[in-house]
Amino acid sequence: MKKKLFIYFLTTSLIVGFLAYPRPVEAFSFGSELNWYFVPTKEKGKIPEPAKESISFLKDCNGYYLGDTSQKTLYLTFDEGYEKGYTSAILDTLKELEVPAAFFVVKPYIDNEPDLIRRMVDEGHLVCNHSNHHHSMPSVHNIEKFNSELNDVEEAYKSLIGEDMPKFFRPPMGKYSKESLEKTKELGYKTIFWSFAYKDWFVNDQPSEDYAIKKIENGVHPGGIILLHAVSKTNMKVLKTVLTDLKNEGYEFKSLSELPE
């Protein structure tokens, strides 16, 4: 089990490799594997630039890294690869502050944590698709295997909840290609990237609470899609402070179901 978790977070650690030296846009083909990144700014509240490799096709493929940037809106999301024991406390905070969130889960999470999944849904949150096996989706070229990575999660969710899963997908590790985004769109999904994330997923190397509060609060901006990991003990501890501070700054938290078309 420990080995599996190490592999999961070793691969997940790639998601914040945003600023690796990207190749020229023209160097990429339809199926080239890309890594999502954003270019942060030093100015608080300023919208960061997206991965330039996907600028030409992100919108056409129903890909999002921002929501409504005309207002001080934020979209809170969590990735759930496995349960570390902090999600209940996170849900307590969200309920107390009346903040909606989206939880991107793999199929084993649905199988292993049915009570948490039910609670997320009952309390008005979105439970969304993060694939079955947490593979790099652009590496899966076989259409049947690709579709099953999403369909298997949908089926597990519907079997548990009795309703269709919301059609939002987060690519594992932030890996994508134009081909994988088009396949995801054909299944009826919006692909949800992010405009803020930080190094929060190493459970044995957690950031300090003061650092996390400053990092998150200084990194948000109008229309921001925030990515946090629910296995982070620090996130659990600082969440109430962060959400309260951001609300006091005039930010409103919205559901991904309210994303502008």
CB atoms within 10 A of CB 158: 12
Residue with tokens 């044995």: 204
Question: Per residue in 21-80, pLDDT tens?
Answer: 344 444 466 788 999 999 988 899 999 999 999 999 999 999 999 999 999 999 999 999
What pLDDT is recorded for position 28? Answer: 60
Q: Give me the active site residues, please.
A: 79, 229
Neighbours of 172 (CB within 10 A): 25
Q: How many CA atoms lie within 13 A of 32 on its CB side?
A: 14
Q: What burial class does residue 85 get, using C-beta atoms within 10 Å of its C-beta: 0-12 exposed, 13-18 middle, 19+ buried?
A: exposed
Indicate the SS3 state at residue 24: coil
SS (H, E, C) 198-233: CCCCCCCCCCCHHHHHHHHHHHCCCCEEEEEECCCH
For residues 7 and 115, what is the distance between their CA atoms, to the nearest angstrom?
26
Instruction: Enumerate residues 6+ apart whose C-beta is below 8 A from 234.
Output: 200, 206, 207, 208, 209, 212
To the nearest whole percent, how much of the chain has pLDDT over 70?
Answer: 89
Residue range 201-228: mean pLDDT, rounded: 97
Tell me the β-bridge partners of 127: 103
Measured distance CA(8)–CA(63) in Å, rounded: 24
Does residue 236 carry a pLDDT above 50? yes
pTM of the prediction?
0.90
Sign of the alpha-carbon dihedral angle for 229, 230, 233, 235: positive
Instruction: Give the domains, in start order, of the chain with CATH numbers.
Output: 2-14+60-258 (3.20.20.370)
Both tokens assigned to 247 = 């609300």
In angstroms, the CA 48 to CA 198 distance is 14
Q: The tokens of 120 are what?
A: 């997320």
Round to whole Å and give the CA distance between 242 and 255: 18
